[in-house]
Amino acid sequence: MAGHSKWSNIKHRKARVDEKRGRVFTRLGKEIYVAARRGGADPDANPALRTAITRAREVNMPMDNINRNIAKATGELDGVDYEEVNYEGYAAGGVAVLLVTLTDNRNRTAPEIRHLFSRHEGNLGEAGCVAWMFDRRGLLIIPRTGLAMDPEELMLLLIEEGAEDVREEEDTIEVVTAPEELEKIKGILTEHGIKCDSAEVTMVPNSMVPVTDKTTAERILNLLNALEDHDDVQNVYANFDIPDEIIQQLEEA
């Protein structure tokens, strides 16, 4: 779990740069499109769409953009037809990597993803080779700085309200929920004046691969960052456990 949250935090910091480039708008636009196409245009009846819209508003995506993507998904406007394709493989050190992509041309996406794995000393595998190592869960990451209530009281409250697990890390508190309980737990936090760094339905690894070699860690993070930067990649999941001091050294380099 710790490795997953570290990658989530790295992505969260990186997203601040992505926002300036508009990349996050593109990704969230695709997420809104797919959610609306699968579950309908009404956020009240479509939890996936409601979550996607909330995430879009948190990064100040204009409502015109949001509504335009919904209209494309429902056929009211012409638009590109995206399909979800998952890719699985291994990074350096045997770390499992699971990708979720939204693409309008899988014949273009597949070789580009394969090239990125190869370039960073990883291997793209067959479908199913690592998916079994991940479980679909809701994950909320709460910053400890400025927390509006005592951490122990907060943890007890969330467990009583149905969270599957709550644990303290150095700078954050992680809350794991069933996917359908994510919005409920987020609402409880909001009621108590507590904000999250991130709140999403994600794939949580059920086992971790310890990585203590700095060179191997660098190769892993370089691959994950390259995959994150690919236009068709929506989410990247991995089961590394790299010590904080190595991550800090690599971020400062």
Write the CATH number for 66: 1.10.10.200
What is the pLDDT averaged over residues 147-164?
90
pTM summary value: 0.80
* Domain-located, residue 106: yes
CATH of the domain at 105: 3.30.70.980
Residues 59 and 144 occupy one common structural domain: no
Residues 33 and 155 occupy one common structural domain: no
- Among 73, 98, 116, the domain boundary falls at 73
* Domain-located, residue 140: yes
End-to-end CA distance of the chain: 26
pLDDT at 14: 54
* Domain-located, residue 10: no
- The residues, any chain, with a CB within 8 Å of residue 152's CB and separated by 6 or more, are none
* Domain-located, residue 247: yes
pLDDT at 201: 85
Residues 184 and 229 occupy one common structural domain: no
What is the pLDDT averaged over residues 26-45?
90
Q: Which residue has the higher pLDDT, 242 or 92?
A: 92
Residues 53 and 171 occupy one common structural domain: no
* Domain-located, residue 238: yes
Residues 200 and 219 occupy one common structural domain: no
Residues 114 and 215 occupy one common structural domain: yes
pLDDT at 250: 82
Mean pLDDT, the chain, rounded, equals 87
CA angle 110, 38, 53 (to 5 degrees): 95
Residues 191 and 242 occupy one common structural domain: no
Structural domain range at position 42: 15-73
Q: Is 80 exceeded by the pLDDT of residue 5?
A: no
* Domain-located, residue 158: yes
Residues 92 and 145 occupy one common structural domain: no
Q: Identify the band that residue 11 occupies on the pLDDT scale cut at 50, 70 and 90.
A: low
Residues 33 and 151 occupy one common structural domain: no
- Among 73, 105, 122, the domain boundary falls at 73
- Contact present, 195 and 148 (Cβ < 8 Å): no
Residues 227 and 240 occupy one common structural domain: yes
- Contact present, 223 and 122 (Cβ < 8 Å): yes
Domain count across the chain = 3
Residues 65 and 53 occupy one common structural domain: yes
* Domain-located, residue 154: yes
pLDDT at 121: 94
- Among 205, 227, 242, the domain boundary falls at 205
* Domain-located, residue 191: yes
Residues 126 and 154 occupy one common structural domain: no
- Contact present, 59 and 97 (Cβ < 8 Å): no
